[in-house]
Structure 1
């Protein structure tokens, strides 16, 4: 499989220097999980990314989307209509299965353990939100190390910045939606400023890059 090219910048970017890792430029175990975070504008962005992933995706996808906890959510049903992959709200004790999308339910942090079993927590808010991208990414980093891919999409606030640093510190790969193309750029900007980003991509290229990475080591 041919890999898509790393981030293409349309204009100079302020802040820390971006270090882009060429696909295949470092040894790693096969990727084993994709974790995605989004907030404001995220329904549209998630629809684009999930809709571009192949039905035979060989890894689970874990998602934190900030949702209003006062209302019952239909996000799983919405996303199921946009993707070939099965989609469900995450449940306590679920084992993360390849080719399945798990979305954090409203007002619960989503975590995954070394045994790849999901857990939900109603512990305190992080950066004023629950679920927290930071907590998901940090748990993914601990459970999967260099086998993890973390992706930050459109959103307001700073959630995800600490989490991508944790993923990168454990040897994982970080993808961020180009802030210039994001409906709300605060979360992508925060992730970029963390200096732990491998790819900065327009929204319509993210699914292709994820699929290329996770399928590269498949027979």
Structure 2
């Protein structure tokens, strides 16, 4: 796309300072190939992680999901399906249920709304990440993992614009690279493109920095 002279399509993050005492909220979003990728990331995160974790994977809305149970066997962190109105708690993983979109409210609670019988992607990564960006600003960490389609790119843009951090896996370690690639091709919104096995160490580093700032 050609840009008129003197104009730029690049948007800088909206300046914002993290509220004192707040800790990160990590959103791991994926589609095809997402179970293996999410399991690898969660499996490397320790008990007592000073961050809340949200997992969203595209799911058939008409089938019961075993995702919380499966992930719970692959990580030391407690894992449960997200419930409407529950608060985000550091050190716990909540999983978006099938047939419902998951959003985050300004008081760091979860909001579930029925997704309906038709696409777009369900649950929607774009809706989750956009609401997360609006709710927690610079405390948001969006991680785009394996998946087909473009879901997550718009929401990741919102996270970037409101001062949060955006991470994607690289082509070599993504079973399906379409979702990470769709985010990477946005206008310089991605902070880190990394191998899958480096996502968890990177998250631990970001969380440690945030914790140090919050207690300074």
Q: Same fold (TM over 0.5)?
A: yes
Q: Does 1:139 align with 2:117?
A: no
Distance 1:162 1:27, change over 3 A: closer
Aligned to 1:101: 93
TM superposition score normalised by structure 2? 0.85
Equivalent-residue separation in structure 2 for 1:135 and 1:125 (angstroms) = 17
Q: Does 1:209 align with 2:210?
A: no
Q: 2:66 aligns with which of 74, 79, 85?
A: 74
Q: Structure 1: 5+ residue runs without aligned partners? A: 1-25
User: What is the CA deviation profile of residues 121-140 of structure 1, one whole-angstrom value per residue up to 9, with x for unaligned ones?
Assistant: 11458962110000000011
Q: 2:147 aligns with which of 152, 155, 158?
A: 155
Verify the 8 A CA contact 2:99 2:115 in the aligned structure 1. no
| Pairing 1:31-110 to 2, within 5 Å after superposition | 31-110=23-102
Equivalent-residue separation in structure 1 for 2:118 and 2:104 (angstroms) = 17
Verify the 8 A CA contact 1:65 1:131 in the aligned structure 2. yes
Q: What is the root-mean-square deviation in Å for CA atoms of aligned residues?
A: 1.8
Q: Structure 2: 5+ residue runs without aligned partners? A: 1-14
Structure with more relative contact order (C-alpha pairs < 8 Å, separation 6 or more) = 1
Verify the 8 A CA contact 2:16 2:137 in the aligned structure 1. no
The total of aligned residue pairs comes to 194
Equivalent-residue separation in structure 2 for 1:100 and 1:92 (angstroms) = 16
Question: Considering only CA atoms, is the larger Rg found in Structure 1 or Structure 2?
Answer: 2
Verify the 8 A CA contact 1:31 1:148 in the aligned structure 2. no
Distance 1:72 1:157, change over 3 A: same
Aligned to 1:15: none
